[in-house]
Amino acid sequence: MRQGYAYTVHPDTIQRSATQAPRRPSPLTRAVVIVVLALVTLLATVLSLLLGSNLIDVGAVIGALLDPANDPGAVVWGSRVPRTVLGLMVGFCLGIAGAVMQGQTRNPLADPGIFGVSAGASLAVVIGVYVLGTSSVITTLLLALAGALVASVVVFGVAALGRGLTSPVPLAIAGTAVTALLVAITSYLVLSDETTLAAYRIWVVGSLSGRTLDGAGAAALFALAGLVFAVANVRSLNSLALGTELAHGLGENLVRARIVGLLAITLLTASAVAITGPIGFIGLTAPHIARRFVGGDHQWLLPASGLIGAALLLLCDVIGRMIGGNAEVPVGVVLAVVGGIAFIVIVRRGKVATL
């Protein structure tokens, strides 16, 4: 039930070593990598449509896809198609949000949850159940969106009142503080009402199971707006990577760059969280993997992170469907365990690129 705090790393605790020096991708290899990643994502999509706890043979799935009337038990159109579509969208959003986040904070450990987005969404959902007694899909979605937006605006406001938006560290600390506060209030409500706890504990693990396309249109709209802001932020992110002083010297409007980045992160994360509940690790891991393949230029890093995020989410969802027997393991849990272990392996091999 806890939501973890994020850590900032001081530049001097990060030690560069020659073994961490990444490759030097040329524009051609980068384009090839993007195409390969797109193919991997396509493969994950196909797997997500074909495999599940209801064993339907391949022919029947294809038949149902071509002709909805042929759908055995409405599994394909009722469950697999929506969760695949939503999974693609959520993974893509979280991957890109993570890349923007890490570029903005120059913190290789930054996760979109850091702005209090997940905690804000959780609290809003809990309040919805506590006050309104409802946990319908659309209400949850809208409440989560609202909560996520409010939380990140508060975090940015706090940081702006202090050292200003130009420095990344106060942002991370403000995010930690606001998250702690929101989690405490959430816990209080959850502990004082059984119905709220019942709804919350299912939501907070993060799952694609049983999610339908109802209301997903609203989330998609927010996600699209977030994507636009992310694209608009690409060149600023490339300047910010040189340090705030040089970025300023290059004519970067730092406050605007931060605000555009915030909007991108918040909108992308909020729409993802609204659909599945908080899902960790994609925002953290996808950009790290992407950086190894396409380098640090955000023009390539963003699409690569998005594709890797989408593929990761779908693959973990498929794993969750297969290992749970009749009850699926939610994708949030699979990601935490698989992602956590994979992350440890990567760190142990000294392959985490510093920022």
Partner 1 sequence: MTSASASAPSASAPAAAVPSSAPPALEARGLTIGYDRVPIFENLDLTIAQGEVTTLIGANGCGKSTLLKAFGRLLPPTEGSVSLEGVPVRSMSAKAVAKRLAILPQKPLTPSATTVRDLVSRGRHPHQSLFRPWTAEDSRITDAALAATGIAELADRDAGELSGGQLQRAWIALVLAQEAPIILLDEPTTFLDLSHQLDVLRLVRSINRERGATVVMVLHDLTLAGRYSDRLVVVGGGRVIADGSPWEVLTPEVLREAFALEAQVIADPATGTPLIVPAADIVS
Partner 2 sequence: MIDRRLWRGRVVIVTLACLVAAVLVGLIGIVVGSSSLTIPDVVVTLFGGGTGSQELVVFELRMPRVLGGLLVGAALGLAGALTQTFARNPLATPDILGVTSGAALGAVAAIVLGGGSYAVGAGLLSLGLPVVAALGAIGTAVIVYGLAWRGGVDSYRLILIGIGATAALMGVTNYLIARAQITEAQAASQWLVGSLSGISWASVWPVLIALVVLVPVALLQSSRLDLGLLGDEMATGLGMAVQRHKLLVIACAVLLTAAAVSASGPIEFVAFVAPQIALRLAGSGRPPLVASALMGALIVAGGDAFARAVLPDETPVGIVTAVIGAPYLIWLLTRRKHRESLT
Q: Which residues bind to partner 2, rule: CB under 8 A?
A: 1-2, 4-10, 12-15, 109, 158-159, 161-163, 170, 172-174, 176-178, 180-181, 183-185, 187-188, 190-192, 194, 197-198, 201-202, 204-205, 280-281, 284, 327, 329-330, 332-337, 339-341, 343-344, 347-348, 350, 352
Instruction: State the binding partner of 246 from partner 2, partner 1, none, CB within 5 to 8 A by kind.
Output: partner 1
Distance between start and end Cα atoms, the chain: 31
User: From CA 175, how far away is CA 131, in angstroms rounded?
Assistant: 26
Report the phi/psi class of residue 354: left, alpha or beta, with left for phi > 0 and alpha for psi in -120 to 50: beta
Instruction: State the binding partner of 292 from partner 2, partner 1, none, CB within 5 to 8 A by kind.
Output: partner 1
Q: What is the DSSP string of 94-131?
A: HHHHHHHHHHHHT-TT--GGGGTHHHHHHHHHHHIIII
DSSP type of residue 11: G
The nearest distance, CB 137 to partner 2, in angstroms, is 18
Residues 101-130 that bind partner 1 (CB under 8 A): 106
Instruction: State the binding partner of 296 from partner 2, partner 1, none, CB within 5 to 8 A by kind.
Output: partner 1
The nearest distance, CB 230 to partner 1, in angstroms, is 14
Least Cα distance to 102 among 333, 247, 342, 305 occurs for 305
The nearest distance, CB 263 to partner 2, in angstroms, is 21
CB neighbour list of residue 219: distance below 8 Å, 6 or more residues apart: 89, 141, 145, 271, 272, 274, 275
Binding window for partner 1 (CB under 8 A); candidates: 23-31, 46-54, 66-74, 75-83: 23-31
Instruction: State the binding partner of 68 from partner 2, partner 1, none, CB within 5 to 8 A by kind.
Output: none
The answer to whether 349 contacts partner 1 (rule: CB under 8 A) is no
- The contact mask relative to partner 1 for 296-335 (x = CB under 8 A, - = no) is xx--------------------------------------
User: From CA 229, how far away is CA 330, in angstroms rounded?
Assistant: 30
For partner 1, which is the closer residue by CB, 109 or 292?
292
CB neighbour list of residue 263: distance below 8 Å, 6 or more residues apart: 225, 226, 229
- The contact mask relative to partner 1 for 234-273 (x = CB under 8 A, - = no) is -x--xx-xxx-xx-xxxxxx--------------------
Q: Per the structure block, which two tokens stand in for 232?
A: 């608009």
Pick from 175, 295, 320, 332 the residue near partner 1 by CB under 8 A: 295
Instruction: State the binding partner of 24 from partner 2, partner 1, none, CB within 5 to 8 A by kind.
Output: partner 1
The answer to whether 355 contacts partner 1 (rule: CB under 8 A) is yes
The answer to whether 351 contacts partner 1 (rule: CB under 8 A) is no
**Secondary structure of the chain: what % helix, strand, coil (to 5)?**
75, 0, 25
The nearest distance, CB 106 to partner 1, in angstroms, is 7
Burial of 305 (0-12, 13-18, 19+ CB in 10 A): buried
Strand, coil or helix: what is 72? helix
Number of residues written out for the chain: 355
Cα R_g (the chain), whole angstroms = 20
The answer to whether 24 contacts partner 1 (rule: CB under 8 A) is yes
Q: Per the structure block, which two tokens stand in for 59?
A: 């022919």
User: From CA 347, how far away is CA 111, in angstroms rounded?
Assistant: 16
For partner 1, which is the closer residue by CB, 246 or 341?
246
Question: Total binding residues for partner 1 by CB under 8 A?
Answer: 33
For partner 1, which is the closer residue by CB, 296 or 324?
296
By CB under 8 A, name the binding residues for partner 1.
Answer: 11, 16, 18, 20-24, 26, 106, 232, 235, 238-239, 241-243, 245-246, 248-253, 291-292, 295-297, 353-355
